[in-house]
Amino acid sequence: MDHFTPTTDPVLNSVAWSAIVGLLPLLTFFILLAVVKTKAHVAGAAALLVALFVGIAAFHMPAGLAILSATQGGVFGAFPVLWIVVMAVWLYQVTVLSGRFEDLRRVFDAIGGGDVRLQAVLVAFCFGGLLEALAGFGAPVAITATMLLALGLPPLRAAAAVLVANTAPVAFGAMAIPITTAAGLTGLHATDVASIVGRQAPLLATFVPLILLFIIDGRRGLKDCWPAALVVGASFAVAQFLCSNYFSYELTDILASLVGLGAAVVFFRLWKPKGSEAARGRLGDAAVAAGTAAGGRDDHRGNATVATVEKTADGGLTPSRTWLALFPYFLVIVVFGIAKLWKLGVDLPAFLAATDVKIPWPILHDALVNAEGKPVSSTVYSFQWLSSPGTLLLITGLLVALVYSKYDDGGRFRLSVGDAVLEIGRTIVKMRWAGLTIITVLALAYVMNNSGQTVSIGTWLAGTGSFFAFLSPVLGWLGTAVTGSDTSANALFAKLQQTAGMKAGIDPNLLVAANTSGGVVGKLISPQNLAIAATAVNMDGQESVILRKVVGWSVALLLVLCTLAFLQSTPVLGWMLP
């Protein structure tokens, strides 16, 4: 097969016209999803077909190479991306099957200084951050919304609170798969991108708990409880910065969530909130009744399953039950910490990296070349069978299942390792359509990247010069708002951001990070998350009501990120970058 080198102006010898034609696959995807309201995997498949047609007809890519690009993107979407997500959801499901999830919820009930508003902040922000780190895909919204109803919040406030809370953790969600995906598509170092995201997202994290207080109880909530909210947000932000820059970026949300929760527990020993009883009264008896009803049902909606209260109702929390409820999250930190940092006697990170299998994609690797005639690095597929975060999560889940099977408290928390393993298959089946969306979106991204469509769009946008740094987060915001996934937004736009940055003389790592950070504030207005939130709080069909409640926060936080990214590209805040 002949060699192919992408160009930026194949349509009428014009970069602008080439970029406009190159936008057709993205427009197809967004219109089908947001306007026609098709299923995400259907929109992804249709957009992939358009990308193949544009790549072959307009960008003159050989049909065989275009199809091979799609296959490589699809395989990358399946492994490691989908593998990580499935294992993260499965680990959460292990806690549900064992009944330990209900004990975890009781842990949150026992803290919060006896104030329902602060309990809600800890559940939505800290526990939601843990779920985002391990599961994502709507699980944090569905689960924490139900828990907030059980605490006594009115449905609309509960829905709005969990959507806003599900912002700061998103960039590092599902073991930081948005960043891993962006790095895999651009060839940038994931640690470099994560380091910059860790200097943007913490700004949001510091103030999100204060916003949650305002949503839950207005100005009175802020007046009564702002010190605790600031402590939680600041401790979360500091841990997010330190972990993403100096420890393991995959563990950022897990560690930050636990640090935020721990800081709250310590702070509540020194400080007590004001107006707790009055606040509970303001939230209303009807909300309390609705929360009681919601707390004791099996909820199989969305992507999450909430365990019933009855499974662990006999007996109260004991130190051992509290520890076992928290055990999976501590074990994840230990396993990932060893895999990433252990160098005593054996350099374990180097050993794991050495097990990766590098596979030059057949035919495509030799045929797709750069302007110098050399094969491009993106056509080499890395099969991370042992070093993948998904495999580490599998090991963690098996250890958790083994411990839970040995300590079942007289059968009340019965879970065998066999049942846990069978749940892997059920998780795969449950996530089949979400998985198909991931695969098609990544196949679409690879076709657009390899054919030159993304490069043309990036070159065109780079014509805005240094101002593109301000617009950069908008692309991530738009992509996540439409797809419901920061990972998908990075799959669509990471290469474009890199190209625009190189053309405009802006650090590509900054722009890819800005795309990721912009996506976090797009998720709270995504149709997928709005639907999950509405269903979880019994407001089916009232997504537009919830949207009006949160869209202002989304736009305001986006403007903050746009300004931050722009200033980081200048000497004004350039010192913030690594």
Note the pLDDT tens digit of each residue in 354-387.
999 999 999 999 999 988 889 988 899 999 999 8
Structure-token pair, residue 365 = 């690797």
Among 267, 260, 261, 279, CA closest to 151: 279
CA–CA distance from 243 to each of 21, 305, 317 (Å)? Answer: 41, 30, 31
Residues 6+ apart with CB under 8 A from 333: 251, 254, 255, 258
Is 446:73 a contact under the CB 8 Å cutoff? Answer: yes
Query: Residue type for 316, please?
Result: G
E strands in 344-478: 357-360, 380-383
Query: Residue type for 63, please?
Result: A
Instruction: Kindly tell me the number of DSSP H helices and DSSP E strands found in the chain.
Output: 28, 2
In degrees, to the nearest 5, what angle opens at C-alpha 170 toward C-alphas 381 and 333?
75
Is 127:108 a contact under the CB 8 Å cutoff? Answer: yes
Strand pairing category for 380-383 and 357-360: antiparallel
Helices (DSSP H) in 299-341: which residue ranges?
319-341
Distance CA 440, CA 34 (A): 17
Residues 6+ apart with CB under 8 A from 163: 141, 524, 525, 529, 530, 533, 546, 550
Distance CA 134, CA 140 (A): 9
Query: Residue type for 502, please?
Result: M
Distance CA 115, CA 451 (A): 56
Among 359, 425, 381, CA closest to 87: 425
Among 466, 481, 461, CA closest to 555: 481
What is the pTM assigned to this prediction? Answer: 0.78
Distance CA 243, CA 397 (A): 22
Residue-level pLDDT, tens digit, the chain, 578 residues:
679 999 999 999 999 999 999 999 989 988 888 788 888 889 889 999 999 999 999 999 999 999 999 999 999 989 988 898 888 888 888 988 998 888 887 777 677 667 889 999 999 999 889 888 876 667 788 788 878 887 779 999 999 999 999 998 999 988 898 999 999 889 999 999 999 999 999 999 999 999 999 999 999 999 999 999 999 999 999 999 999 999 889 999 999 999 999 999 899 889 988 888 888 888 764 454 444 444 443 333 333 333 333 344 456 788 899 899 889 988 988 898 898 878 888 999 899 999 999 999 999 999 999 888 899 888 999 999 998 888 999 999 999 999 999 987 777 788 899 999 999 999 899 888 888 988 998 899 899 989 999 888 888 887 888 899 999 999 899 888 877 789 888 988 998 899 899 988 999 999 999 999 999 999 888 877 887 888 778 787 778 788 889 989 999 999 999 999 999 999 999 999 98
Predicted confidence at residue 313, as pLDDT, reads 42
Distance CA 375, CA 371 (A): 10
Is 263:235 a contact under the CB 8 Å cutoff? Answer: yes
Among 214, 280, 291, CA closest to 550: 214
